[in-house]
Structure 1
Amino acid sequence: MQTLTCLFLPTYPDTPDPKIAANAVAVASQLGAVLDAAVIDVNIPDVSNALSTLLLDLPAKIREAETASRSRGKALLDAVATEAVQHKVTLTTQELKAAPGLMGELAATEGRYFDLCMAGWARDSEALQSVAEEVVFSSGRPTLLLPDSEKVGDLEHVVVAWDGSRVAARAVADATPFLERAKQISIVSVVDEKVLPRQDSAERLALGLKARGFHAKAESILAGQDPIGVVLQRHAKKIGGQLLVMGAYGHSRLRDIVLGGATEGVFSDLRMPVLMSH
């Protein structure tokens, strides 16, 4: 059975880095998956009146913004298509439209038809971050966050952030396609952030993965005073991890986001590919 993946690229108010699209294609290639790339162009409701039309020419400005958004979307789809041909990835595309505040909700709804969602992240892009948050919490699908700052290579070393919780267990299950292809799996528990269900929690998971034929090892780390999401990413990169797997704590209703500590640390400072499950 072939895995179906999707990538969401909002095109307003600015353009996502094409590197995000290239990274999504690279991931789909490693999974042997079909990729559906969807650009989300802006559809701005015309709320102008006679005075605003006269003084600001608001309808013309709306048309200009929508035209620029569509142009960026087409350029992104062309970039994805080029990457897909090079990596021999089966590609489908969509051009969606949504009001500025509803792009994330639309992406989350569309994401429910796929096995894995992918969303880009950039420090200076509120649009990318809001879409990523909404997809993580509302799509019901595992979501791979892709940074725009670096090229995603082979995801051969998977690091699992483990605290024995329901969402962490869900994340491990959702990460199965990546675990099956990994050469190394590291189970990492932060022991000074909260009370864990058992002292050997990470070791217990590692034993279970070994029984399934995976190459897994466990270790414990300390967070100290640093944000837990940053600590996990920093440690993952230190040990050569190429993908971090973790549960997403919190909830989202449109833009009303309430996040757990580790989740907030990742959303505010994404440093590597992170697979999140809620």
Structure 2
Amino acid sequence: MGYKTILTVVTDESLLNSTIDHAAAVAACWDAHLEVLAFGVDRTQTGYYYAGADAIILQETLDRASKDAAELANAARVRLGQIEGRWSIEEGVAQLADIGRHVAGRARFADMVVLPKPYGKERGVELEPIVEGGLFEGQAPVLVVPQAINPSSKPKRVVLGWNESAEALRSVRAAMPILQSADTVHVVVIDPPQHGPNRSDPGGMLSQYLSRHGVNAEIDVLTKTMPRISDILNRHVQDVDADMVVMGAYGHSRFREAILGGATRNMLELAEVPVFLAH
């Protein structure tokens, strides 16, 4: 089992090189084909203009988005030409409200989607629906990579966030090739329930499952000493010098996470190592 098709999406020239470098490193590691989507984003909000202006503005923004897509695709070809491996590129225009659907259509037939962090300074608003399109409608695992780190292939130490949820279990199965190649996988259980079938051995069943797949797993039971789960995970990443986080994505609704915050959103905002997500 491995990853044979890696998908990435570029919409911002300032993030293009790092995004392609990270995706290409992952593809090279698994001898996979790299697919690149270069999107010019049409941010037109139809209905916000005076009567008669919509058609003119729509055409202007469409032309601008088409030009952006062509420039991004050309820049991507130049970057890809410097990298060994198999790759293909496709360019197109997508409206902001519909870009997630376009990404999902390609993510459905990819083994992993590699994307930049969607939150931070000077990050386009389209990056969040791109991540969600891959995860939800595309049903593909997404590897979110901070821009500043060096491209990596296989992590040596992985922190796996485990809360017995369906999302966490899906992330384990989707990340199995990565977990098998790691030297150590730290299964992090935070404040396990005091009542339940696994109260005496938190993470024990998962550890057994992983060991049968050849994964060297350690169970780290932690107390919630900080307000946010993401803070505890990030601190543990530093404590064990981990190279990657694997976790389930969006256990709560996306609306709740957007308004109130949540472990997924906070991790994507703060993580300094790649975060592997599955829903």
Superposition TM-score tier, normalisation by shorter sequence? 0.7 to 0.9
CA offsets per residue over residues 47-99 of structure 1, 9 Å max, x none? Answer: 6889759xx9885565345423431332134213323x2xxx21121113211
Moved more, 167-176 or 235-244: 235-244
1:207 maps to which residue? Answer: 208
CA–CA distance in 2 between the matches of 1:239 and 1:46?
47
Cα displacement (A) at 1:232: 1.2
CA–CA distance in 2 between the matches of 1:218 and 1:46?
49
Cα displacement (A) at 1:192: 6.8
Which 4+ runs in 1 deviate beyond 4 A?
43-53, 56-62, 192-197
2:39 maps to which residue? Answer: 40
1:268 maps to which residue? Answer: 269
CA–CA distance in 1 between the matches of 2:196 and 2:21?
38
2:96 maps to which residue? Answer: 100
Matched, 1:181 2:184: no
User: Secondary structure at 1:35's aligned position in 2?
Assistant: strand
Kindly report which structure 2 residues correspond to 1:13-28, keeping only aligned pairs within 5 A, or say none.
15-28=14-27
CA–CA distance in 2 between the matches of 1:250 and 1:73?
35
Kindly report which structure 2 residues correspond to 1:1-278, keeping only aligned pairs within 5 A, or say none.
3-11=4-12, 15-43=14-42, 52=53, 59-60=59-60, 63-83=63-83, 85=84, 89-122=85-118, 123-124=120-121, 125=123, 126-153=125-152, 154-191=154-191, 198-199=198-199, 200-250=201-251, 257-259=255-257, 261-278=262-279
TM-score (norm 2): 0.82
Counterparts in 2 of 1:239 and 1:114: CA distance versus 1, 3 Å: same
User: Secondary structure at 1:149's aligned position in 2?
Assistant: coil
- For 1:176, the aligned partner's letter is M
CA offsets per residue over residues 107-144 of structure 1, 9 Å max, x none? Answer: 12210011112222151312223311332222111111
CA RMSD of the aligned region, Å? 3.1
CA offsets per residue over residues 245-267 of structure 1, 9 Å max, x none? Answer: 11112477xxx644372112123
Residue segments in structure 2 that go unaligned for 5+ positions in a row: none
CA offsets per residue over residues 143-168 of structure 1, 9 Å max, x none? Answer: 11122121233412222111112211
8 Å CA contact 1:44, 1:62 repeated in 2: no
8 Å CA contact 2:94, 2:102 repeated in 1: yes
Counterparts in 2 of 1:45 and 1:188: CA distance versus 1, 3 Å: closer
TM-score (norm 1): 0.82
- For 1:73, the aligned partner's letter is A
Aligned length: 268
CA–CA distance in 2 between the matches of 1:93 and 1:146?
20
Counterparts in 2 of 1:113 and 1:244: CA distance versus 1, 3 Å: same
